[in-house]
A and B are shown apart, each in its own frame.
Chain A
Amino acid sequence: MKENSTIKSLDPRITRADIPKDGQLSIDIKPLDQWQTYEVFHQEKKGDHHSHVGSLHAPNPEMAFLMAKEQYARRGRCVNIWVVKTSDIFTTNFEDEDMYTTNDDKMYREAGGYKVMDRINKYKKEHKKKEAVK
Chain B
Amino acid sequence: MYGGGYIFDESASTELDDAKKLEAFEARIEAGEKIEPSDWMPAEYRKQLIRMIEQHAHSEIIGALPEGTWITRAPGFKRKLALMAKVQDEVGHAQLLYSAAETLGKSREDMINDLISGKSKYSNVFNYPAETWADTAVIAWLIDAGAIINQVANSKGSYGPYCRALERICTEESFHLKYGHDSVVFLATGTPVQRAMVQDALTRWWKPIMHFFGPSDKISVHNTIMMKWKLKMASNDDMRQKFLDMYVPKIWDLGLNIPDPELRKDEATGKWHYTEPDWEEFKRVINGDGPCNRERLAVRKMAEEKGEWVRRALMKQDERYITPLA
Contact = CB atoms under 8 A, between A and B. Distances in A.
Interface of A: 7, 9-14, 17, 19-23, 25-27, 29-37, 39, 52-57, 59-60, 63, 67, 70-72, 74-76, 85-87, 89, 91, 93-95
A75 B89 CA distance: 10
Interface stretch (B75-83, B211-219, B236-244, B309-317): B309-317
Given A25-B301, A52-B326, A54-B168, 19 more contacts: A10-B69, A25-B113, A25-B117, A29-B109, A29-B112, A32-B319, A33-B109, A34-B108, A36-B320, A37-B99, A55-B99, A55-B326, A72-B168, A74-B92, A75-B171, A86-B322, A86-B324, A86-B325, A94-B38
Contact of A21 (B70, B168, B298): B298
B299 A14 contact: yes
B69 A35 contact: no
Interface of B: 36, 38-40, 65, 68-70, 72, 88-89, 92, 95-96, 99-100, 102-103, 107-109, 112-113, 116-117, 129-131, 161, 164-165, 168, 171-172, 175, 294-295, 298-299, 301-302, 304-305, 308, 311, 314-316, 319-326
A57 B164 CA distance: 18
A7 B294 contact: yes
Nearest to A26: B305
B321 A32 contact: yes
A27 B305 contact: yes
26 contacts: A9-B69, A10-B130, A11-B65, A11-B69, A11-B72, A23-B298, A25-B304, A29-B116, A29-B304, A33-B308, A37-B323, A37-B324, A39-B324, A54-B165, A56-B99, A59-B311, A59-B315, A70-B88, A70-B92, A71-B92, A71-B95, A85-B322, A86-B323, A86-B324, A87-B320, A91-B38
Interface of A is mostly: loop
Given A35-B311, A35-B319, A75-B171, A7 B96 contact: no
